[in-house]
Amino acid sequence: MNPSTVRLDKWLWAVRLYKTRSLATEACRLGRVTIAGQTVKPARSVHPGEVIVAKTGDLTRTYQVLALVEQRVGAPAVKEFAGDLTPAEEYARRREAVLEPVFAWPKGQGRPTKRDRRRLDEML
């Protein structure tokens, strides 16, 4: 049975955009969640067909509300309630950042000495 109205923070949590409902609420309060280009409050009602843009960490995700849900659903079931409209280049940008090394150690130099490790730790 689908509910007639659902709070935005509850829907964001239920479709696994945020790990906890309090993180979803905080994201709304900080202006990281928008609907139709306007920041929204966590208690705002969500309606099917709306497009939600949410920043989660360094990734900006775009989702369309397909159906309302109050309870958290399993990852495979999210497709029934939210349509992912996030551009592929957004995911690619995140993957590139993960693969990029923090520093480059010269090849053939061997393992870092204790002194080298201290210097590396200072840089990080």
Q: What is the pLDDT of residue 68?
A: 95
Q: What is the pLDDT of residue 102?
A: 67
The torsion angle over the Cα atoms of residues 90, 93, 98 and 102, rounded to 10 degrees, is -140
Residue 90's pLDDT band, with cuts at 50, 70 and 90, is confident
User: Could you tell me whether strands 51-56 and 59-65 are parallel, antiparallel, or unpaired per DSSP bridges?
Assistant: antiparallel
pTM over 0.85: no
Q: What is the pLDDT of residue 12?
A: 96
Q: Mind listing the pLDDT tens digit for each residue in 7-55?
A: 999 999 999 999 999 999 999 999 999 999 999 999 999 999 999 999 9
Q: Which CATH number does 8-123 carry?
A: 3.10.290.10
